[in-house]
Amino acid sequence: MGKIIFATNNAHKLSEVQALLGDAFELVTLKECGITEDIPETAATLEGNALQKARYVFEKTGADCFADDTGLEVEALGGEPGVHSARYATDGHDFAANNRLLLKNLEGQSNRKARFRTVIALILEGKEYLFEGIVEGTIATRESGCEGFGYDPLFVPSGEIVTFAQMSAEAKNAISHRGRAVAKLVNFLKDGKL
């Protein structure tokens, strides 16, 4: 089994991505490779942040690694919160406050189109690769469901009538932004083809 570092401290994401990778690769956590500090994410784009995190880990370890960055892009808000999704309402990754602010900013708005976009930056044998996954959908007018995390209680993927937070992890992974980006990563890791 190959080993690869996933540059995240989010246990929920680790298990989500490990499930998608199956037995092909064992994910190594940041803690396991001795990185306990917060990795800077100061770029202006998802691509920039994913690369910044992967390069940081590669410089410290010299090992194969990948990092992801995700944003919720809301059409009526000009693509916001986008790269600011984690700290939309406060500095502290407060999911409930982010959801309240999103609902407030969309009050009275009939265009509720949104998409989640994930970018994964992989550094394999010192070479850099980017993978993108997108899921289109709409922002509901109130929160529903308690699965998942982040904006899941508000995001209804296209073709569904329930939010991500009302879906099982398997059902969400099958269509999600991260699921799609990870599928591209996994295909590449398994076949060596982009």
- Cite the active site residues: 69
Site for ligand IMP contains 73 (CB under 6 A): no
What does the alpha-carbon distance between residue 52 and residue 24 come to, in Å, rounded to a whole number?
A: 26
> Smaller CB distance to ligand IMP: residue 52 or 98?
98
Nearer Cβ to ligand IMP (62/168): 168
**Between residues 92 and 126, which has the closer beta carbon with respect to ligand IMP?**
92
| DSSP codes joined into one string, 129-191 | EEEEEEEEEEE-SS----SSSTTGGGEEETT-SS-GGGS-HHHHHHHSHHHHHHHHHHHHHHH
Torsion angle of C-alpha atoms 24, 187, 44, 51, degrees rounded to 10: 50
Question: Alpha carbon of 40 to those of 95, 131, 183, 188: distances in Å?
Answer: 20, 20, 26, 27
Q: Looking at 54, 73, 138, 152, which residue binds ligand IMP (CB under 6 A)?
A: 152
Q: Cα separation of 155 and 143, whole Å?
A: 9
137 binds ligand IMP (CB under 6 A): no
Report, in Å, the least distance between residue 5 CB and ligand IMP.
16
151 binds ligand IMP (CB under 6 A): yes
Residue that the structure tokens 């109130």 belong to: 142
Q: Does 82 bind ligand IMP (CB under 6 A)?
A: no
Q: Is 70 in the site for ligand IMP (CB under 6 A)?
A: yes
Q: Report if residue 133 touches ligand IMP, rule: CB under 6 A.
A: no
Residues that bind ligand IMP (CB under 6 A): 68-70, 72, 85-86, 93, 98, 148-152, 164, 176, 178
